[in-house]
Structure 1
Amino acid sequence: MTAEGIDLHLADEPATLALGADLARSCPDGARVVHLTGDLGAGKTTLVRGWLRALGHSGAVKSPTYTLVESYEPAGRTVHHFDLYRLTDPEELEYLGLDGYFDGRALCLVEWPERGAGMLEAPDLIIRLRVDGPGRRAHLQPQTETGRTWLRALSDKWQ
């Protein structure tokens, strides 16, 4: 791991699910916000699916493109999964009552965070995904000390 983060090659969907699972298992106490960026089809929701499965969620995990947020309670931890793709103006987030989601206790996984610029809390971790042939490239960049602690715990397995 460098100060700029970790770069990973994810060969296929199972590798993306595995990264999500390992992020869930290595998530430190105090981690609150993760931004997931990448084009359509880059694997953001797949990563979240792996994450939630590792926490014990057995139901469906779909992108909340139309609802903007889906909330889960796996293993006694609240996780809010946002998809802001359909936002046309960041101020639309005011109608969601963001304070109730970003309460310091829940983990918030935010797809398309750039669409909510200026209205979202700063992330502990930014995960950038992009298509790379049949697989994906992932760049994980810490933004806080909590994010750096998280990546140190993760890097042993993925480097």
Structure 2
Amino acid sequence: MEVISNSPTETEQLGADLAAQLSPGDIIAFTGDLGAGKTAFTRGLARGLGVQERVTSPTFTIVNEYEGGRLPLFHFDMYRLGSSDELFDIGWEDYLARGGVCAVEWSEIIDDALEGHVIRVDIRRGADDNQRLITITGGPDA
């Protein structure tokens, strides 16, 4: 599925719409440039799952956990990891076993470790500053 988003609000809504279709163990694997809208999409996922907490980028913590929604949301930022080997050092398998949704920014760094139901979300800049070209593959409608 390819979508054009014309604002961060539209990008968040797309995430909220996808969240309604997610199941325990789903992995959302994001790719896209810095500032493309991966965290905005994740804010929408959180809202769609019923998470009430403020969603922020986990750049310096590697993972932020959000509970209290229909499913737990584990928001990863792999930008600072060198390889998928480091992923297992932070407990990746434990997060997968907890029955939540893993939203993974910079997923290309750990692509060889992604297994199971992986939904790929690529976000690219469009014609103007707010426009984004969003491609979703591997989802429920794929």
TM-score when normalising by structure 1: 0.80
Deviation at 1:140, TM superposition (A): 0.6
Alignment of 1:121-132 (within 5 A): 121-132=115-126
- Give the Cα separation in 1 of the matches to 2:137 and 2:20: 18
- Give the Cα separation in 2 of the matches to 1:88 and 1:48: 23
1:151 aligns with 2:127: no
Secondary structure of the residue that 2:123 maps to in structure 1? strand
- Give the Cα separation in 2 of the matches to 1:151 and 1:33: 15
The range that moved more, 76-85 or 118-127, is 118-127
- Give the Cα separation in 1 of the matches to 2:111 and 2:3: 26
- Give the Cα separation in 2 of the matches to 1:46 and 1:128: 13
Percent identity over the alignment is 35
- Give the Cα separation in 2 of the matches to 1:45 and 1:106: 18
Give the 4+ runs in structure 1 shifted more than 3 A: none
Structure that is richer in helix per residue: 1
Deviation at 1:76, TM superposition (A): 4.2
1:63 aligns with 2:57: yes
Secondary structure of the residue that 1:51 maps to in structure 2? helix
Aligned in 2, Cα 1:31/1:105: closer, same or farther, shift over 3 Å? closer
Secondary structure of the residue that 2:2 maps to in structure 1? strand
- Give the Cα separation in 2 of the matches to 1:30 and 1:55: 11
Residues 53-86 of structure 1 show CA distances to partners (whole Å, capped at 9, x for unaligned) of: 2222222211111111111113241211111011
Number of residue pairs aligned between Structure 1 and Structure 2: 140
Gaps of 5+ in 2: none
Kindly name which structure, 1 or 2, has the bigger radius of gyration based on alpha carbons. Answer: 1
Gaps of 5+ in 1: 1-5, 153-159
Identify the match of residue 139 of structure 1 among 123, 127, 135. Answer: 135
Q: RMSD in angstroms over aligned alpha carbons?
A: 1.8
Secondary structure of the residue that 2:114 maps to in structure 1? coil
